[in-house]
């Protein structure tokens, strides 16, 4: 992108929060800003394609086709780029830089996810005013249709929260602005506008969906109303029943910010983009993302981590010796299971999202026994994974930490955890869908091969 959040860091550390002040509401302010940015970005992409379009990333190997396409350059994703060693950058900003630069709630220390969304969509650090207006806009859009409430109320509590989440998001397609506009014959150049409206609606409605699932499944009573004067995370926390705990609200601000986007190739992001490329509206596209996030090798790992930790604590105690933890981890590996929360398809160092959560814990819950166990595991498991010799990355990922933080504040229902990951992931997938429509991204259709066709293709040819 021509828009460069790093320049915000370099040029205006002192002036952040005053660059794009506007008196208009954020709904129109963000949309207006997008309308200004899109023509420039179309030109920017055109120029990049003219200059680099025929350049090659290098050879594609047959192993990459069999190997889950690891490292295969295949997608454009504007919101974030992942470096194997350094971790994620959102529009050029690292997590600590986001923590420093993005507007916060009054008295708060963590970035507001509203600000992260603005950054993902525009590449710019928003003003406090723009962020407040975005909070109000989302609060105004937060209500979910009564038939969606009924769908959730009729789900058996034994249906996994992620399945309920996906059902509800799919059903929101009933009121999709994009689907309606497409039926009326909207011009391709205008696709981004209803996509933007749907994405804003989607994000705004997630606290009501998540809150309803949580309360229905775990018998926590009725969902309270959204407060238009509160930020997104404060409302989400209230709807879940933790709004009175300011530390939990701060955790949600951090949690939603850091889980939002992890470039385009991970399962949830790529699924959303792929389904969106068929011009399925943002609700249908994001429901597909959620179904991918619900897999244990992806977002469900945060549930699996806490399950693993709890079983470990039951078996050897929270004050276990290093030797006992070591043995437990080896037993897990020897039984053919993965150690959840460790390893990554791209990262080769400790995930900065893990580090951000560890720092939060050091500040807010340094004496928590499960947190200490997580720290102990961090000192032990990487060496075991290295010794076992299979995992390319022995370090912890984002999911290794989140569960103990939620548990500390009383959210102990681990099979709900991935729903929170899903709420956050809508920010990244939504921003990408808007830009895909703005830039006229085509239908995705890579080429596949059968083993037989590969054998024929390379018959008689040496490497
Ligand atoms: N425990 C045990 N074995 C592991 C491992 C772990 N944490 N991480 C990788 N391995 C194994 C793989 O299963 C694979 O074994 P096989 O060759 O027998 O299939 C081998 O090491 C090589 O895998 P890799 O190239 O290092 O990793 P992949 O890119 O294939 O997979 C991931 C990445 C995340 C699926 C894997 O590390 C894993 O299963 N981790 C545990 C689950 C987890 O924490 N997932 C969450 C990731 C973050 C997220 O998306 O939310």
Using one digit for the tens of pLDDT, what is the confidence trace for 46-97?
A: 999 999 999 999 999 999 999 999 999 999 999 999 999 999 999 999 999 9
Q: Report the CATH fold assignment for 301-408.
A: Cytochrome p450-Terp; domain 2 (1.10.230)
* Spacing, Cα 69 to ligand 1 middle (Å): 14
* Spacing, Cα 340 to ligand 1 middle (Å): 8
> What residues are labeled active site?
298, 344, 399
Which atom of ligand 1 lies at the shortest distance from residue 299's CA?
A: 51
Q: How confident is the model at residue 460 (pLDDT cuts 50, 70, 90)?
A: confident
pLDDT, tens only, 127-149? 999 999 999 999 999 999 999 99
pLDDT, tens only, 407-425? 999 999 999 999 999 999 9
* Spacing, Cα 338 to ligand 1 middle (Å): 7
Long-range contacts for 279-282 (Cβ within 8 Å, ≥24 apart)? Answer: 279/178, 279/182, 279/191, 281/173, 281/176, 281/178, 281/179, 281/182, 281/195, 281/198, 282/176, 282/178, 282/195, 282/198, 282/199, 282/202, 282/430, 282/433
Which residues make Cβ contacts (< 8 Å) with residue 92, sequence separation at least 6?
Answer: 4, 5, 6, 9, 123
In whole angstroms, what separates CA 310 from the centre of its chain? 25
Protein residue with its CA nearest to atom 25 in ligand 1? 392
Ligand 1 contacts CB of residue 298 (under 6 A): yes
Q: What is the pLDDT of residue 11?
A: 39
Of the candidates 355, 393, 397, 320, the one whose C-alpha atom is nearest the C-alpha of residue 70 is 393
Ligand 1 contacts CB of residue 216 (under 6 A): no
Side-chain-side CA neighbours of residue 111 (13 Å): 29
Alpha helix segments (H runs only) across 13-53: 26-52
* Spacing, Cα 397 to ligand 1 middle (Å): 11
Protein residue with its CA nearest to atom 38 in ligand 1? 343
Long-range contacts for 277-282 (Cβ within 8 Å, ≥24 apart)? Answer: 277/436, 277/441, 277/442, 277/443, 277/444, 278/443, 279/178, 279/182, 279/191, 281/173, 281/176, 281/178, 281/179, 281/182, 281/195, 281/198, 282/176, 282/178, 282/195, 282/198, 282/199, 282/202, 282/430, 282/433
pLDDT, tens only, 24-44? 343 478 999 999 999 999 999
Q: Give 242: exposed, middle or buried? Use CB within 10 Å, 0-12, 13-18, 19+.
A: buried
Ligand 1 contacts CB of residue 265 (under 6 A): no
| Bridge partners of residue 89, in order along the sequence | 81
pLDDT, tens only, 8-19? 444 333 333 333
* Mutation pick for ligand 1 pocket among 265, 268, 343, 348 (CB with most ligand atoms within 8 Å): 343
Evaluate the CA torsion angle 85, 87, 89, 94 in order and state its sign. negative
Protein residue with its CA nearest to atom 3 in ligand 1? 338
Ligand 1 contacts CB of residue 275 (under 6 A): no
In the chain, what are the domain boundaries?
136-294+414-438, 301-408
Q: What is the pLDDT of residue 106?
A: 95
Ligand 1 contacts CB of residue 365 (under 6 A): no
Protein residue with its CA nearest to atom 31 in ligand 1? 345
For the entire predicted model, the pTM comes to 0.94
Protein residue with its CA nearest to atom 21 in ligand 1? 391
Ligand 1 contacts CB of residue 303 (under 6 A): no
User: Does 21 have pLDDT greater than 90?
Assistant: no
Average pLDDT over residues 280-293: 98
Protein residue with its CA nearest to atom 12 in ligand 1? 391
Q: What is the pLDDT of residue 5?
A: 53
Which atom of ligand 1 lies at the shortest distance from residue 393's CA?
A: 26
Q: How confident is the model at residue 23 (pLDDT cuts 50, 70, 90)?
A: very low
Cβ atoms of 353 and 400 within 8 Å: the answer is no
* Spacing, Cα 380 to ligand 1 middle (Å): 17
Q: How confident is the model at residue 375 (pLDDT cuts 50, 70, 90)?
A: very high
Q: What is the pLDDT of residue 352?
A: 98
Which atom of ligand 1 lies at the shortest distance from residue 70's CA?
A: 29
What is the average pLDDT value for the chain, to the nearest integer?
A: 94
Give dist(CA 102, CA 116) in Å, integer: 7
* Mutation pick for ligand 1 pocket among 331, 389, 391, 428 (CB with most ligand atoms within 8 Å): 391
User: Does 240 have pLDDT greater than 80?
Assistant: yes
Ligand 1 contacts CB of residue 337 (under 6 A): no
pLDDT, tens only, 105-129? 999 999 999 999 999 999 999 999 9
Q: What is the pLDDT of residue 461?
A: 80
Cβ atoms of 166 and 285 within 8 Å: the answer is no
Q: What is the pLDDT of residue 9?
A: 47
Ligand 1 contacts CB of residue 97 (under 6 A): no
User: Does 2 have pLDDT greater than 50?
Assistant: no
* Mutation pick for ligand 1 pocket among 265, 302, 338, 380 (CB with most ligand atoms within 8 Å): 338
Give dist(CA 419, CA 29) in Å, integer: 29
* Spacing, Cα 355 to ligand 1 middle (Å): 19
Ligand 1 contacts CB of residue 264 (under 6 A): no
* Spacing, Cα 213 to ligand 1 middle (Å): 30
User: Looking at the domain covering 136-294+414-438, what would its CATH class be?
Assistant: mainly alpha
Of the candidates 311, 134, 164, the one whose C-alpha atom is nearest the C-alpha of residue 232 is 134
* Spacing, Cα 393 to ligand 1 middle (Å): 8
For 202, other C-beta atoms within 10 Å of its C-beta total 26
């Amino acid at each position: 992108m021509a828009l460069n959040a790093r320049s915000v860091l370099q040029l205006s550390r002192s002036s952040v929060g005053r660059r794009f002040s506007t008196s208009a509401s954020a709904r129109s302010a963000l949309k207006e800003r997008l309308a200004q940015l899109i023509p420039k970005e179309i030109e920017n992409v055109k120029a990049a394609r003219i200059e680099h379009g025929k350049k090659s990333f290098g050879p594609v190997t047959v192993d990459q086709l069999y190997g889950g396409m690891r490292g295969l350059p295949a997608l454009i994703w504007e919101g974030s780029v992942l470096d194997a060693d350094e971790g994620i950058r959102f529009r050029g900003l690292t997590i600590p830089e986001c923590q420093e630069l993005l507007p916060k709630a009054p008295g708060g220390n963590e970035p507001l996810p509203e600000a992260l969304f603005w950054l993902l969509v525009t590449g710019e650090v928003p003003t406090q005013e723009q962020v407040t207006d975005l909070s109000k806009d989302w609060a105004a859009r937060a209500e979910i249709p009564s038939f969606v409430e009924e769908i959730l109320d009729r789900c058996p509590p034994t249906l996994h929260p992620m399945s309920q989440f996906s059902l509800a998001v799919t059903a929101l397609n009933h009121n999709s602005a994009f689907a309606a506009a497409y039926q009326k014959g909207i011009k391709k150049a205008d696709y981004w506008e209803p996509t933007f409206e749907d994405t804003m609606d989607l994000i705004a409605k997630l606290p009501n969906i998540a809150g309803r699932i949580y309360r229905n499944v775990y018998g926590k009573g009725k969902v309270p109303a959204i407060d238009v004067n509160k930020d997104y995370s404060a409302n989400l926390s209230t709807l879940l029943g933790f709004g009175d705990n300011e530390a939990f609200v701060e955790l949600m601000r951090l949690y939603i910010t850091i889980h939002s986007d992890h470039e385009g190739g991970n399962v949830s992001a790529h699924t959303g983009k792929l389904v969106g490329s068929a011009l399925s509206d943002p609700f249908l596209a994001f429901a597909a993302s959620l179904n991918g996030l619900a897999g244990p090798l992806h977002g469900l790992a945060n549930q699996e981590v806490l399950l693993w930790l709890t079983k470990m604590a039951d078996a050897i105690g929270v004050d276990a010796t290093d030797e006992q933890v070591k043995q437990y981890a080896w037993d897990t590996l020897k039984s053919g299971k993965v150690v959840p929360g460790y390893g990554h398809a791209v990262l080769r160092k400790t995930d900065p999202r893990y580090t951000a959560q560890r720092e939060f814990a050091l500040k807010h819950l340094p004496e928590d026994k499960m947190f200490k166990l997580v720290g102990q595991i961090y000192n032990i498991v990487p060496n075991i994974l290295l010794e076992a010799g299979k995992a390319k990355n022995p370090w912890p990922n984002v999911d290794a930490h989140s569960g103990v933080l939620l548990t500390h504040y009383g959210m102990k229902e681990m099979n709900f955890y991935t729903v929170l990951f899903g709420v956050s992931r809508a920010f990244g997938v939504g921003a990408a869908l808007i830009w895909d429509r703005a830039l006229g991204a085509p239908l995705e259709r890579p080429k596949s091969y059968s083993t037989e066709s590969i054998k024929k293709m390379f018959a008689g040819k040496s490497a």
